């Protein structure tokens, strides 16, 4: 087989939820760079448009779609618009997710004071925000008996981390959902549909910036320093570090891979601390 064809996504239609963020935008640009037509989805359309402009400036094809991933009606409308403009989706990247400060413990908030509404919001955004796009965009994959779904997990799913109880539990649910959906789709709709997940290590994003860096100086917090010390590669991840794993899982290169969660973490999950 031609090695270049292993990672060729020409003719594929990819949907990236949470596509306007730092990591989501990188994933959208990566898929477009491999030849896919990319629909960039987020609640606010303006940041999506910026990602689309970058993709088009690089010679790719993309569409910006403002859509709340928790709104099934909005997702169905997005599906129809994407199908008309780009074609039926064959790749879905569930990048929408995140944490909330009110659902995070700290010096001023104990576990007994976590906001129930914020906890529910974290679960909805991560779990329902992954499942619902699978229900909507996965239907076209089921009908065509081919496709690829990539969910975004976290290091906190497999190794419980201090402070982020709700987020870690929600991401653990993503791992389970990924494996369940991989089996279900292959058994019910054909082995041409694959479902996997990427578990990023510690990347500096808008969601975790308040935990890893000082608001005033921008220097690493005590927590940030601890993370780097427990990462054998000795640094936080950069968005570009996700590109290779994403392209591998989205492309024919991983044609016999389904139901796995791939850590991209600089060795964090392998290090015992001693």
What's the domain count of the chain?
A: 2
- Residue 63 inside a domain? The answer is yes
What pLDDT sits at residue 241? 96
What pLDDT sits at residue 209? 73
What pLDDT sits at residue 222? 84
User: Are 171 and 219 contained in the same domain?
Assistant: no
- Residue 68 inside a domain? The answer is yes
Q: What is the CA radius of gyration of the chain?
A: 18
User: Are 36 and 128 contained in the same domain?
Assistant: yes
User: Are 167 and 208 contained in the same domain?
Assistant: no
- Residue 158 inside a domain? The answer is yes
User: Are 8 and 122 contained in the same domain?
Assistant: yes
Domain that holds residue 195: 3-200+237-263
Residue 85: is it exposed, middle or buried by C-beta count within 10 angstroms (0-12/13-18/19+)?
middle
- Residue 272 inside a domain? The answer is no
User: Are 72 and 166 contained in the same domain?
Assistant: yes
pLDDT digits (tens, 9 = 90+) for 74-106: 999 999 999 999 999 999 999 999 999 999 998
In angstroms, the first-to-last Cα distance of the chain is 43
Contact by Cβ (8 Å): 14, 89: yes
- Residue 268 inside a domain? The answer is no
Residues whose CB falls within 8 Å of the CB of residue 71, separated by 6 or more in sequence, listed in order: none
User: What are the angstrom distances between the C-alpha of 162 and each of 78, 154, 165, 227?
Assistant: 37, 14, 7, 11
Cα(33)–Cα(41) distance, rounded to whole angstroms? 18
Residue 260: is it exposed, middle or buried by C-beta count within 10 angstroms (0-12/13-18/19+)?
middle
CATH number of the domain to which 52 belongs: 3.40.50.720
Residue 233: is it exposed, middle or buried by C-beta count within 10 angstroms (0-12/13-18/19+)?
middle
- Residue 209 inside a domain? The answer is yes
User: Are 20 and 115 contained in the same domain?
Assistant: yes
Contact by Cβ (8 Å): 170, 131: no
Where does 72-190 show beta strands of DSSP type E?
A: 91-94, 147-152
Contact by Cβ (8 Å): 214, 221: yes
- Residue 40 inside a domain? The answer is yes
What pLDDT sits at residue 42? 97
Neighbours of 219 (CB within 10 A): 9
Cα(183)–Cα(134) distance, rounded to whole angstroms? 14
What pLDDT sits at residue 215? 79
Backbone angles phi, psi at 64, to 5 degrees: -95, 135
Cα(229)–Cα(199) distance, rounded to whole angstroms? 19
What pLDDT sits at residue 207? 64
User: Are 162 and 88 contained in the same domain?
Assistant: yes
Q: What is the pLDDT along the chain (274 residues), one digit of tens a residue?
A: 678 889 999 999 999 999 999 999 999 999 999 999 999 999 999 999 999 999 999 999 999 999 999 999 999 999 999 999 999 999 999 999 999 999 999 899 999 999 999 999 999 999 999 999 999 999 999 999 999 999 999 999 998 888 899 999 999 999 999 999 999 999 999 999 999 999 999 988 776 677 787 777 878 888 889 999 999 999 999 899 999 999 999 999 999 999 999 999 999 999 988 8
User: Are 105 and 151 contained in the same domain?
Assistant: yes
What pLDDT sits at residue 218? 77
Contact by Cβ (8 Å): 138, 147: yes
- Residue 271 inside a domain? The answer is no
Neighbours of 267 (CB within 10 A): 13
How does DSSP classify residue 272? -
What pLDDT sits at residue 138? 97
| b/e code 91-128 from CB counts within 10 Å (16+ = b) | bbbbbbbbbbebbbbeeeeeeeebbeebbebbbebbbb
How does DSSP classify residue 163? S
What pLDDT sits at residue 232? 96
- Of the candidates 167, 202, 203, 268, the residue annotated as catalytic is 167
User: Are 95 and 66 contained in the same domain?
Assistant: yes
189 is catalytic: no
What pLDDT sits at residue 252? 96
What pLDDT sits at residue 208? 67
């Amino acid at each position: 087989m031609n090695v270049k064809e292993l990672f060729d996504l020409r003719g594929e239609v990819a949907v990236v939820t949470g596509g306007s963020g730092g990591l989501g935008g990188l994933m959208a640009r990566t898929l477009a760079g491999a030849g896919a037509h990319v629909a960039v989805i987020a609640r606010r359309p303006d940041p999506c448009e910026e990602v689309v402009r970058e993709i088009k400036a690089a010679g790719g094809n993309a569409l910006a779609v403002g859509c709340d991933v928790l709104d099934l009606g909005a997702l169905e409308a997005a599906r129809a618009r994407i199908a008309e403009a780009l074609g039926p989706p064959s790749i879905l990247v569930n990048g929408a997710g995140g944490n909330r400060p009110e659902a995070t413990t700290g010096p001023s908030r104990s576990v007994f004071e976590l906001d129930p509404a914020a906890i529910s919001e974290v679960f909805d955004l991560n779990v329902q925000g992954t499942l619902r796009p699978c229900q909507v965009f996965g239907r076209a994959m089921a009908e065509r008996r081919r496709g690829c779904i990539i969910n975004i997990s976290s290091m906190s799913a497999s190794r419980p981390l201090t402070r982020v109880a709700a987020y870690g539990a929600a991401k653990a649910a993503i791992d389970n959902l990924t494996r369940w959906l991989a089996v279900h789709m292959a058994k019910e709709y054909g082995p041409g549909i694959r479902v996997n997940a990427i578990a990023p290590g510690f990347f500096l994003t808008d969601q975790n910036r308040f935990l890893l860096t000082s608001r005033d100086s921008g220097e690493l917090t005590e927590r940030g320093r601890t993370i780097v010390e427990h990462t054998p590669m000795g640094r936080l991840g950069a968005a570009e570090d996700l590109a290779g794993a994403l392209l591998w899982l989205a492309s024919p290169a991983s044609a016999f891979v389904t139901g796995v969660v791939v850590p991209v973490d600089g060795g964090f999950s392998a290090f015992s601390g001693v």
